[in-house]
């Protein structure tokens, strides 16, 4: 259960206070993965942070009895002077993993990130990609009811992306996600319902296509699927065709990958 | 690429439903380790420096003072007099100033919902107390080896004064931390205020020669009381400063703690909110 009760969040700007939400009441449907959509500045990321408990509303509350992750792939919590191992250990400890459980989690992240002995060097020496690998592996190492994802699905090289997808699929067996994305393909692949944010209001679409069509009608950026001059979401045959094209693309990408060591 | 996806860690955290106390404990412990590691930078040199910094400071001042045969109060050795003034003062300064900076410096950590500003304060205070105790032990051991009697004459009173000192530093740090979120310049002003405070706290020179009417003003500073009480705790023959007592600094500590906690309670959401 995730419920927003009289949620108000505003930012002070030079032109006075700007409200993102004002007394927003909303209940997310249980047991489904949700695509959070809306135009730029509609408050998707803000809402995600509020749900994750890492940002605070001006008033009102987010009520939940579920275990909610931090935003997947987030690396701002890393201390750059410490190694990936030390940072991972820190996150384990605050989540109550000690002893054998801690060692197991560290071993998993180390194997997942696959950055070799860099794992024990300070994170300030890492490349952006290496940091992202550690961050994603860390997110996958913990079990939550909801994973919060802010457009960070595709990091790293193709091989790592596939590994991420596999880990994600495993996790999604017993969990759900709240995904912020402008990418229609991602929403279709992962989500069961769409919540559209517009002018400080949230609207639930249990039918994805209806939600995507509403999103298309909103002030958001144009859908990627529109580039051929027709709206894919309107037409089941075109939708099927688009899905097949995507899968074919995925297959060729996979064939191009270097062989396993 | 392995044919099978990497097996997920088994019964990994978060364990189901921890009590608030368990979460608090886990977070403060995790922060303590992290803070300590960041401070000593994973090297022996880091640890050495942490201890060596107050020792170096101490030896320079001691050399200066003893070399010019500065007048020191009777009943306590000059070196012990300085050590028992400097180490507690540095502890107080570090606790309050480092805690004032803790939210700004740890902002990334609040991405983990378990971590609250108060936890970073608690863990920083613990780190400071641990490092300061280590430095104190090293300094006192060195003085003891030198032939000075460093064994505390009244250990319980010493502990009580230390406790009040830590609470005072924590209360000031907490208040400053909340105040500096809205008004960052306060931090600079307080940083500057520590220089005159250092001179007025009786850390380096004895206050017994000060005329009575001036002493009354100096005694408004709670650190004067605490530093003097600590010296009484160490040396049996140390003549106490008239008017120094535990009640006055305890009042300060409780007042600052109450003020800091109230401000924190009021501002707790805004502290970690994006604005």
User: Given A79, A105, A142, which is nearest B34 (Cβ)?
Assistant: A79
What torsion do the CA atoms of A164, A169, A172, A174 make, to the nearest 10 degrees? -120
Has residue A256 got a pLDDT over 60?
Answer: no
Length of chain A as a residue count: 261
Share of chain B above pLDDT 90, in %: 35
CA A36, CA A75: separation in Å to the nearest integer? Answer: 22
Residue B48 neighbours by CB under 8 Å, 6+ apart: none
Look up the domain containing B131 and give its range.
42-272
Structure confidence at residue B264 as a pLDDT band (50, 70, 90): very high
Nearest residue of chain B to residue A48 (CA atoms)? B111
- Long-range CB contacts for residues A186-194, cutoff 8 Å, separation at least 24: A186/A35, A186/A153, A187/A35, A187/A37, A187/A212, A188/A212, A188/A243, A190/A33, A190/A35, A191/A32, A191/A33, A191/A34, A191/A35, A192/A32, A192/A33, A192/A34, A193/A29, A193/A32, A193/A33, A193/A34, A193/A35, A194/A34, A194/A35, A194/A37
Has residue B95 got a pLDDT over 60?
Answer: yes
Whether residue A260 lies inside any domain: the answer is: no
Structure confidence at residue A150 as a pLDDT band (50, 70, 90): confident
Average of per-residue pLDDT across A87-97: 91
Has residue A247 got a pLDDT over 80?
Answer: no
The three-state secondary structure class of A141 is coil
DSSP-based helix, strand, coil % in chain A, nearest 5: 45, 25, 35
Look up the domain containing A18 and give its range.
2-69+144-255
pLDDT value, residue A223: 44
Does one domain contain both A169 and A125? no
CA A163, CA A111: separation in Å to the nearest integer? Answer: 11
If one compares A65 and A220, the residue with the highest pLDDT of the two is A65
Nearest residue of chain A to residue B107 (CA atoms)? A77
Does one domain contain both A91 and A102? yes
Closest CA to B139 of B86, B100, B103: B86
Does one domain contain both A82 and A164? no
pLDDT value, residue B42: 58
Does one domain contain both A182 and A95? no
pLDDT value, residue A232: 47
Does one domain contain both A166 and A238? yes
Does one domain contain both A220 and A180? yes
Whether residue A261 lies inside any domain: the answer is: no
CATH number of residue A205's parent domain: 3.40.50.300
Contact A94 B114 (CB under 8 A): yes
Which residue, among B10, B14, B46, would best test binding to A if mutated, counting the most A CBs under 10 Å from its CB? B14
pLDDT value, residue B68: 64
Whether residue B34 lies inside any domain: the answer is: no
Does one domain contain both A242 and A155? yes
Does one domain contain both A168 and A56? yes
Has residue B2 got a pLDDT over 50?
Answer: no
Contact B26 A93 (CB under 8 A): yes
Structure confidence at residue B13 as a pLDDT band (50, 70, 90): very low
Tens-place pLDDT, residues A129-148: 888 889 988 988 888 889 99
pLDDT value, residue B16: 62
User: Which of A92, A127, A143 finishes a domain?
Assistant: A143
pLDDT value, residue B138: 87
Whether residue A88 lies inside any domain: the answer is: yes
Whether residue A100 lies inside any domain: the answer is: yes
pLDDT value, residue B275: 63
Structure confidence at residue B182 as a pLDDT band (50, 70, 90): confident
Task: Name which of A244-253, B226-235, B238-247, B259-268 the model is least confident about.
Answer: A244-253
Average pLDDT, chain A: 81
Average of per-residue pLDDT across A176-195: 86
Cβ of residue B19 closer than 8 Å to a chain A Cβ = no
Q: How many helices (H) and strands (E) does chain A have?
A: 8, 8
Contact B13 A97 (CB under 8 A): yes
Does one domain contain both A37 and A82? no
Which residue, among B8, B27, B119, B124, would best test binding to A if mutated, counting the most A CBs under 10 Å from its CB? B8
Nearest residue of chain B to residue A75 (CA atoms)? B108
Location of structure tokens 């319902």:
A193
Location of structure tokens 């740890």:
B106
Measured CA distances, B185 to B25, B180, B190 (Å): 33, 7, 9
Has residue A225 got a pLDDT over 50?
Answer: no
Does one domain contain both A220 and A154? yes
Tens-place pLDDT, residues A31-48: 888 998 888 888 888 898
Does one domain contain both A45 and A134? no
Domain count, chain A: 2
Average of per-residue pLDDT across B76-83: 81
Average pLDDT, chain B: 84
Question: What residues 86-125 of chain B have any CB closer than 8 A to a CB of chain A?
Answer: 108-115
Assembly ipTM: 0.82
CA B133, CA A175: separation in Å to the nearest integer? Answer: 47
Does one domain contain both A92 and A205? no
CA B27, CA B109: separation in Å to the nearest integer? Answer: 11
Contact B113 A141 (CB under 8 A): no
Min distance A152 CA to chain B CA atoms (Å): 16
Nearest residue of chain A to residue B15 (CA atoms)? A96
pLDDT value, residue A154: 61
A37: which 2 tokens? 């959509």
pLDDT value, residue B175: 94
Measured CA distances, B152 to B138, B140, B148, B225, B234 (Å): 15, 10, 12, 18, 4
Nearest residue of chain B to residue A13 (CA atoms)? B275
Residue B106 phi/psi, 5-degree rounding, is -110, 20
Q: Contact, B162 vs B88, CB < 8 A?
A: yes
- Annotate A165-220 with DSSP letters as a single string: HHHHHHHTTT-EEEEE-S-HHHHHHH-SEEEEEETTEEEEESSHHHHHHHHHHTTS
Task: Name which of A152-161, A225-234, B129-138 the model is least confident about.
Answer: A225-234
Contacts of A163 in chain B (CB under 8 A): 1, 5-6
Tens-place pLDDT, residues B19-62: 889 899 999 999 999 988 887 765 677 777 777 777 787 778 77
User: Given B2, B113, B274, which is nearest A52 (Cβ)?
Assistant: B113
Domain count, chain B: 1
Contact A56 B2 (CB under 8 A): no
Supply the angle between the helices B78-105 and B44-67 in degrees, to the nearest 10: 140
Has residue A117 got a pLDDT over 80?
Answer: yes
User: Which of A143, A173, A195 finishes a domain?
Assistant: A143
Contacts of A94 in chain B (CB under 8 A): 23, 26-27, 30-31, 112, 114-115
């Amino acid at each position: 259960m995730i419920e927003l009760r009289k949620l108000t969040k505003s930012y002070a700007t030079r032109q006075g206070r700007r409200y993102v939400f004002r007394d927003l009441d909303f209940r997310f449907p249980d047991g489904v993965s949700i695509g959070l959509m809306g135009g730029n500045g509609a408050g998707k990321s803000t809402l995600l942070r509020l749900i994750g408990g890492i940002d605070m509303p001006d008033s009102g509350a987010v009520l939940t009895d579920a275990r909610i992750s931090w935003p997947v792939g987030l690396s701002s919590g890393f201390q750059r002077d410490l190694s990936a191992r030390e940072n991972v250990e820190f996150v384990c400890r605050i989540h109550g993993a000690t002893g054998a459980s801690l060692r197991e989690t560290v071993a998993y992240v180390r194997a997942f990130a696959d950055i070799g002995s860099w794992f024990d060097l300070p994170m300030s020496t890492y490349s952006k990609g290496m940091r992202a690998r550690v961050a994603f592996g860390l997110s996958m190492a913990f079990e939550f009811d909801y994973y919060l994802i802010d457009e960070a699905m595709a990091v790293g090289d193709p091989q790592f992306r596939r590994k991420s997808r596999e880990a994600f699929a495993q996790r999604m067996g017993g969990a759900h996600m709240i995904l912020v994305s402008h990418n229609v393909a991602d929403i279709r692949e992962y989500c069961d319902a769409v919540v559209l944010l517009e002018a400080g209001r949230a609207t639930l679409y249990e039918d994805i296509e209806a939600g995507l069509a509403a999103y298309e009608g909103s002030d958001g950026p144009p859908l990627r699927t529109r580039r051929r001059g027709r709206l894919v979401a309107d037409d089941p045959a075109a939708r099927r065709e688009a899905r097949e094209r995507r899968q074919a693309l995925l297959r060729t990408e996979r064939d191009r990958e270097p062989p396993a060591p | 690429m392995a044919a099978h996806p990497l097996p997920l860690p088994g019964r990994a955290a978060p364990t189901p439903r921890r009590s608030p106390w368990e979460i608090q404990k886990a977070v403060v412990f995790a922060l303590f380790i992290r803070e300590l590691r960041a401070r000593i930078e994973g090297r022996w040199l880091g640890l050495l420096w942490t201890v060596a910094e107050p020792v170096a400071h101490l030896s320079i001042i001691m050399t200066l003072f003893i070399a010019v045969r500065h007048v020191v109060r009777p009943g306590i050795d000059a070196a012990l007099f300085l050590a028992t003034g400097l180490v507690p003062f540095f502890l107080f300064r570090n606790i309050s100033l480092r805690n004032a900076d803790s939210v700004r410096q740890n902002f990334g950590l609040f991405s983990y919902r378990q971590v609250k500003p108060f936890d970073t304060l608690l863990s920083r205070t613990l780190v400071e107390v641990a490092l300061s105790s280590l430095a104190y032990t090293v300094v006192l051991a060195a003085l003891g080896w030198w032939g000075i009697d460093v064994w505390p004459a009244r250990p319980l009173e010493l502990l009580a004064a230390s406790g009040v000192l830590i609470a005072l530093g924590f209360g000031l740090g907490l208040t400053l931390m909340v105040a500096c979120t809205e008004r960052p310049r306060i931090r600079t002003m307080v940083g500057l205020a520590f220089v005159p405070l250092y001179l007025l706290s009786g850390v380096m020179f004895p206050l017994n020669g000060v005329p009575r009417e001036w002493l009354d003003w100096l005694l408004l500073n709670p650190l004067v009381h605490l530093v003097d009480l600590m010296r009484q705790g160490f040396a049996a023959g140390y003549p106490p400063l008239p008017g120094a007592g535990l009640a006055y600094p305890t009042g300060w500590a409780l007042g600052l703690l109450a003020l800091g906690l109230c401000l924190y309670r009021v501002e707790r959401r805004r502290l970690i909110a994006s604005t």
